[in-house]
């Protein structure tokens, strides 16, 4: 009963807060699955996580003040806090061991700013860990708060934190001292060490621009605090705050009577922490913290046991090699091998595309429909080949294929697979002996899986659309039913479409139409929601193929997205072993009608980009897109994304064009956050499916790019060397 009660308690909490923070902000069209806990956690005997807690701003800190600590590398955290008429929801990502970035959405009731009863604010933070804590030195962090927003929370700080444990006091005590500027220097100032000239916040600012001339200027004030983690469950905090809450107290949001804050926190599970607080001598507040480690799945991945490697019999004394007479007719042998491999691959959730064998070499091309990691799929194909191929075949050439694009050729020596399976450094040794080559566009003379084409697939089920950051209603949702179908008449060809019918929702209830000085290429998106309950988000025909071993191409025509239809063409150059790739995309589109689901409006545009991609170390990928956007503006988009070995991706982007910040409007330029979560991380079942969303603080007309289904780079890179090596140990799983 204890196990069941504890499990239900955590699942109930994660449903509630996951729906608000993650379901709406991260996963977009799906709600977050209930967070499961291990048996040790269910018993309530887990160890307290060795990581910092979050403050009311959703970043590492005390109660309302920051601390000098950093989260564990790669942590994704969501903080939801409320007190004194203010509610903040923050998404924080520890992008590197030293760099932490946050996006925050706040609401302040009766703030007297703008025309709304509740003032809604979006802000970004960034902080850098200058020094890791050591035996004698504290953790030291420098940070910028709300550095590119309207400035209502703008502030800078330097904070130091030191842990103390042992002795007569149980648990761990952390002491923090710091110095704040701006918002964090508004109470108890001690001077202006770097200059006193700091412009004040005004509600009419459009925000979005870096206010570097304000950073660390104006009056500075000290802050300090203590955090005592008593045991694995309970912790208490006390702090001296340097935030005067000038805007809130000046408009009567709450009455600030003290500079001191106090709180107690309870660690519900390894991932969830809740707290209650008494703040500023007059207010009671609550804070819910969810910290997720992409490297530690909610449910451990449950893979079916792999087949053991079948080793060949040793050569007899005096024997020069294995018999090769069986390969006299390679075409017939390849066909026989095809018929044997098809059911074996199907049992592994994969599909044979083609196979070709000689006396010494076999090449197999396959699609992977089950495993998020391509390296796992490659390893399992190798195990199948070892069981069915005659001993004379000493080289396996394994080619993962995605949507008719042969990604790469992974070349194994059969002897390496046989001897290294149980070696202590098996992964590293096999990687050193493996070759990665470009795959020919077509495998000449191969036995094809003739059952693949033509193919028809369809599905029907519920859908959810969400609209974020409406000042009247921060989260609007539509629910309905959708049907999708896909027909593939031949390799590389696809005819696909989706039809949706809205059953209920409040997106169309929005009455705010954003003003724009540009052609309305995105700001009229609300009119599509209000136009018709039945819509066709996309309906198109596409073909993609390899024009050369390192060149991939795509052509798509039809209704490409909800707002545009037309023609799109793309070419990508991406060598298998190169971290660098280049692509070009050209489009000609017309804007679709609001009410006529197959009609068009008068607006048309030629748009396109030249793109460069570079795969950095530690899973980071940088992307630069230069070209013309939907409103006719010209500029560039910079994207930086981090991908984890299990498929998690977190990144951000910004776009600067020849549109001025005044013409762009609120936000000054386009920017946002991208999050991709593999489904198997949540459920534990092997699947290649993911859930992705893009969070934009504002959707304006400047820097708007066409949403085309099936862009090439993400289809290709997972099967190239860097994508395979990222989880290379999977070849043995």
pLDDT(13) > 60: no
Considering its fold, how many domains does the chain have in total?
Answer: 4
Q: Do 619 and 505 share a structural domain?
A: yes
Query: Can you give the pLDDT at residue 56?
Result: 97
**Looking at the domain assignment, is residue 729 inside a domain?**
no
Could you count the other beta carbons within 10 Å of the beta carbon of residue 193?
12
Residue 196 falls in which region: left (phi positive, over 0), alpha (psi -120 to 50) or beta:
alpha
What are the pLDDT digits (tens) for 106-162? 999 877 676 677 888 889 999 999 999 999 999 999 999 998 756 789 999 999 999
Same domain, 368 and 254: no
**Is position 275 within any domain?**
yes
Say whether both 36 and 55 belong to one domain: no
> Taking every pair of C-alpha atoms in the chain, what is the biggest distance, in angstroms?
96
In a domain, 581, yes or no: yes
Lowest mean pLDDT among 19-28, 186-195, 361-370: 19-28
Confidence of residue 200 (pLDDT cuts 50, 70, 90): low
Q: Is residue 731 part of a domain?
A: no
Residues 285 and 335 in one domain: no
- In 7-152, where do the E strands start and end? 76-83, 86-94, 99-109, 118-131, 139-145
Same domain, residue pair 229 and 370: no
Using CA atoms, how far apart are residues 132 and 139, in angstroms rounded to an integer?
5
pLDDT at 206: 58
The pTM of the full predicted model, rounded to 2 decimals, is 0.89
- Residue 570 covered by a domain: yes
pLDDT of residue 42: 41
Establish if 336 belongs to a structural domain.
Answer: yes
pLDDT-based confidence at 207, cuts 50/70/90?
Answer: low
Same domain, 438 and 471: no
Same domain? For 115 and 219 the reply is yes
Domain CATH number, residue 247: 2.40.160.40
Do 608 and 496 lie in a common domain? yes
Are both 267 and 333 inside the same structural domain? no
Residue 530 phi/psi, 5° resolution?
-90, -10
Q: Write a three-state SS string for 163-212.
A: EEECCCCCCEEEEEEEEEEEHHHCCCCCECCCCCCCCCCCCCCCCCCCCH
* Dihedral, 334, 339, 345, 351 alpha carbons, nearest 10: 80
Phi-psi region of 668 (alpha: psi -120 to 50; beta: other; left: phi over 0): left
Structural domain includes residue 312: no
Confidence (pLDDT) at 15: 38
Q: Per the domain annotation, does 677 fall within a domain? A: yes
Task: Evaluate if residue 353 carries a pLDDT over 70.
Answer: yes
Judgement on whether residues 473 and 567 belong to the same structural domain of the protein:
yes
Q: Which domain holds residue 169?
A: 47-201+208-291
**Last residue in a domain, options 234, 266, 291:** 291
Q: HSE of 511 in the Cβ direction (CA atoms, 13 Å)?
A: 1
Among residues 310, 288, 216, the alpha carbon closest in space to that of 13 is found at 288
Residue 612 and residue 529 share a domain: yes
pLDDT tens for 272-327 read 999 999 999 999 999 999 999 998 898 888 888 888 888 999 888 777 788 888 88
Q: CATH number of the domain that 395 lies in? A: 3.30.300
252 and 380 housed in the same domain? no
Lowest mean pLDDT, pick from 6-15, 360-369, 444-453, 574-583:
6-15
Confidence at residue 34, expressed as pLDDT on a 0 to 100 scale: 35
């Amino acid at each position: 009963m204890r196990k069941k009660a504890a499990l239900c308690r955590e699942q109930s909490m994660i449903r509630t807060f996951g729906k608000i923070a993650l379901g709406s902000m991260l996963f977009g069209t799906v709600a977050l699955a209930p967070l499961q806990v291990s048996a040790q956690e269910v018993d309530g005997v887990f160890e307290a996580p060795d990581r910092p807690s979050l403050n009311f701003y959703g970043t590492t800190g005390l109660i309302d003040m920051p601390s000098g600590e950093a989260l564990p590398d790669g942590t994704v955290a969501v903080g939801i806090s409320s007190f004194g008429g203010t509610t903040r929801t923050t998404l924080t990502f520890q992008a590197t061991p030293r760099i932490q970035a946050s996006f925050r959405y706040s609401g302040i009731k009766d703030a007297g700013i703008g025309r709304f009863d509740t003032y809604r604010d979006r802000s970004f933070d960034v902080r850098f860990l200058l020094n890791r804590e050591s035996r004698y030195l504290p953790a030291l962090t420098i940070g910028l708060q709300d550095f590119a927003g309207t400035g209502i929370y703008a502030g800078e700080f330097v904070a130091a934190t030191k842990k103390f444990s042992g002795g007569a006091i149980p648990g761990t005590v952390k002491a923090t001292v710091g110095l704040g500027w701006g918002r964090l220097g508004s109470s108890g100032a001690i001077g202006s060490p770097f200059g006193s000239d700091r412009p004040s916040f005004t509600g009419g600012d459009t925000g979005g621009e870096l206010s570097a001339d304000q950073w660390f200027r104006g009056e500075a004030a000290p802050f300090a605090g203590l955090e005592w983690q008593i045991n694995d469950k309970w912790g208490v905090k006390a702090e001296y705050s340097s935030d005067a809450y000038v805007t809130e107290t000046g408009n009567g949001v709450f009455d600030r009577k003290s500079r001191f804050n106090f709180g107690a926190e309870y660690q519900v599970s390894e991932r969830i922490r809740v707290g209650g607080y008494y703040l500023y001598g007059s207010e009671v507040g609550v804070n819910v913290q969810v910290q997720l480690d992409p490297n530690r799945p909610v449910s451990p991945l449950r893979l079916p046991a792999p087949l053991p490697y079948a080793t060949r019999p040793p050569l007899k004394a005096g024997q020069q090699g294995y018999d090769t007479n069986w390969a006299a007719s390679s075409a017939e042998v390849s066909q026989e091998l095809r018929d044997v491999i098809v059911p074996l691959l199907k049992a592994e959730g994969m599909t044979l595309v083609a196979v070709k064998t000689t006396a010494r070499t076999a090449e197999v091309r396959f699609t992977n429909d089950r495993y998020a990691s391509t390296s796992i799929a490659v390893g399992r194909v190798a195990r199948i080949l070892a069981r069915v191929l005659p001993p004379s075949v000493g080289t396996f050439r394994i080619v993962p294929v995605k949507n008719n694009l042969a990604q790469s050729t992974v070349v194994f020596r059969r002897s390496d697979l046989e001897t290294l399976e149980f070696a202590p450094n098996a992964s590293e040794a096999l990687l050193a002996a493996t070759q990665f080559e470009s795959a020919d566009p077509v495998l000449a003379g191969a036995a094809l899986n003739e059952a693949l084409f033509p193919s028809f697939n369809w599905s029907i089920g519920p859908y959810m659309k969400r609209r974020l950051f409406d000042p009247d209603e921060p989260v609007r949702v539509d629910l309905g039913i959708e049907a999708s179908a896909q027909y593939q008449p031949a390799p590389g060809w696809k005819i696909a479409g989706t039809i949706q019918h809205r059953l209920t929702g409040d997106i169309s209830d929005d009455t705010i139409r954003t003003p724009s000085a540009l052609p309305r290429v995105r700001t009229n998106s609300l009119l599509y929601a209000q136009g018709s309950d039945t819509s066709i988000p996309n309906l198109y025909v596409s073909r993609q193929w390899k024009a050369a071993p390192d060149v991939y191409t795509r052509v798509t025509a039809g209704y490409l997205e909800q707002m545009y239809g037309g023609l799109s063409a793309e070419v990508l150059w991406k060598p298998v072993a190169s971290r660098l790739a280049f692509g070009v995309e050209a489009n000609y589109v017309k804007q679709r009608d609001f009410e006529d689901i197959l009609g068009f409006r008068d607006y048309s545009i030629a748009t396109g980009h030249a793109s460069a991609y570079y795969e950095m170390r530690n899973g980071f990928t940088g992307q630069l897109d230069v070209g013309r956007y939907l409103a006719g503006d010209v500029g560039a988009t910079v994207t930086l994304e981090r991908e984890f070995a299990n498929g998690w991706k977190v990144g951000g982007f910004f776009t600067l064009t020849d549109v001025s910040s005044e013409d762009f409007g609120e936000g000054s330029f386009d920017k946002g956050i991208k999050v991709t979560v593999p489904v198997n991380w949540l459920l534990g079942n092997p699947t290649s499916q993911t859930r992705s969303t893009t969070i934009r603080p504002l959707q304006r007309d400047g820097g708007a790019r066409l949403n085309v289904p099936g862009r090439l780079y993400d289809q290709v890179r997972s099967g190239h060397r860097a994508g395979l090596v990222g989880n290379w140990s999977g070849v043995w799983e």
